[in-house]
Chain A
Amino acid sequence: SRSGPPSSKHGHGGHAKRAPPPASPVVPVAPQAAALVRATCNSTAYYDVCVSALAADPSSTTADVRGLSAIAVSVAAANASGAAQAAAALANGTAPLAAAAAGDGTVQALLRACAGKYGDARDALAAAKESMGQQDYDLATVHVSAGAEYPQVCKALFRRQRPGAYPAELAAREEALNKLCSVALDIIALLTSSPASNNNNS
């Protein structure tokens, strides 16, 4: 996916840049890029999730903090989209684990509702990406928070109507999405709290 809009300004600060190793002058980008990812992920609640999510996107090697936040949101959106598809597949009986739900109309209805809610989460994260493109970071925060909140309805429904039937696959996806949204929120917070970002907005 495309990284955020290019910018000559850097939102991060407070970290001294490391001098490139003298033995490897031809590849100065990699250590600096890795350092930025590590520094950015250090500000998040889920460091490992953050590093693996960002590392999966090649453009993270050249992205600034704003670009990294856009990547994080994109990864979360992809996760939500996958969860929506998984829930729909379970509901339609086309998933391997669907046998358990095949005979239960209620569980199928719940799964369809879940598919809808993960779809809402996906849409919210897409809206967040759009807001970030316009540097509306606070609104992006709202949309990412919404992306994390919609799946809670899915869990609440199962807990209420079929406690034992909440699919492990959805539970895992919910947890992953929650963490990815948390990571995205923490990175976006860097943009809204930095003096450079404020100057950019005025």
Chain B
Amino acid sequence: MAAHSHVIPFLSPAATSARCSPYGHRRRGRAGLLRCAAAAGQAGFFTRLGRLIQEKAKSDVEKLFSGFSKTRESLSVVDELLTYWNLADTDRVLDELEEALLVSDFGPKISFRIVDTLREEIRDGKLKSGAEIKEALKRCILELLTSKGGNPELQLGFRKPAVIMIVGVNGGGKTTSLGKLAYRFKNEGVKVLMAAGDTFRAAARDQLEVWAERTGSEIVIDNDKKAKPASVLSQAVKRGKREGFDLVLCDTSGRLHTNYGLMEELVSCKKVIAKALPGAPNEILLVLDGTTGLNMLQQAREFNDVVGVTGFVLTKLDGTARGGCVVSVVDELGIPVKFIGVGEGMEDLQPFDAEAFVEAIFP
């Protein structure tokens, strides 16, 4: 198979003035013009940052490959099915392919759609061998990820500091993911400020302080048990502006709908960030635990409905054979996966590359 020469860049500013507005937001012309002017001086910074991280991601493709070893093993039955495929066996083979996809947590809807597409192409004579069917399968999945997934690059705007809100269920790896993100940015020379916005759990503040120390990042923290998350985040963004930080990473408290009032805290946090710095937050990343499989969809819908998610960070994918959930969550929500966790180490939070992912699970 010919290698794809084009690799989607992980991080870069918009190339044209039409994309000066932050991802998912529309601005009036005047504000857009002002932001374009601001971009002239600082776009270079994010361009260079994007290039460096992209190059790093390329050299780390092996991490991605090894991280999906369980899913790849689970899906290896597909190779066996297709190696001995012949036209008379089409229905049986496609049924078993469908099962393999479902076992790996490609959701029912997407699995059925993929198989129906393949069946139609086989019937039309477009696919004449097992190898061709496999390539069509991979192409289907890649198209789903790239067409539904939107822009997988981080959209950090054109002014410093960029602001990223990290949201997700408590215990699901949110604070750890924030720490690993900080580590990655720090390695590229970014001046990072962390914000301990989970004021409900002392353990979360303590954990974030450890990450700040480990990554050499500054942190805004309020140890008062009655501290308001919105207040902490507002202070952090203002300090980020005042002291010239490149990036503010905002931790938040992760509560589900069972405690609606606290879910509303996220809305307040988002609003005060926008008030402290118009256009921020640039990204709202939802951290999802990959071992929860298709239940990620439910979490994603709930957080998206409340606060508006711009990208996913999927963790613990190395610990599960259900890596197909990556495709399901993108297909169902139309929100891109931006990072995936494929191990316990500091450098195991990888920028998501759809082509590398498809190759990792269907080599």
Contact = CB atoms under 8 A, between A and B. Distances in A.
B355 to A, nearest CB: 27
A19 to B, nearest CB: 32
A149 B170 contact: no
Interface in A86-101: none
B202 interface: yes
A145 B102 contact: no
A154 to B, nearest CB: 9
Contact of A142 (B103, B108, B299): B299
Contacts of B291: 127
Interface in B95-110: 95-96, 98-99, 102-103, 108
A50 B78 CA distance: 42
Most A CB within 10 A of own CB, among B92, B255, B293: B293
Given A109-B96, A138-B169, A160 B112 contact: yes
Contacts of B292: 124, 142-143, 146
A21 B154 CA distance: 66
A43 to B, nearest CB: 12
B120 to A, nearest CB: 16
B26 interface: no
Given A120-B293, A124-B292, A192-B259, A139 B98 contact: no
A201 B169 CA distance: 14
Nearest to B288: A142
A106 B92 contact: yes
B169 to A, nearest CB: 5
A197 B293 CA distance: 28
B258 interface: yes
A110 B256 contact: no
B293 to A, nearest CB: 6
A141 interface: yes
A102 B322 CA distance: 29
A138 B293 contact: no
12 contacts: A105-B92, A109-B95, A127-B291, A131-B171, A134-B171, A139-B169, A139-B170, A139-B171, A142-B256, A143-B295, A145-B298, A146-B293
Interface of B: 92, 95-96, 98-99, 102-103, 108, 112, 169-172, 200-202, 225, 254-256, 258-259, 289, 291-295, 298-299, 322
Given A139-B289, A146-B292, A160-B108, 8 more contacts: A113-B99, A120-B322, A138-B258, A145-B298, A156-B108, A160-B98, A198-B200, A201-B201
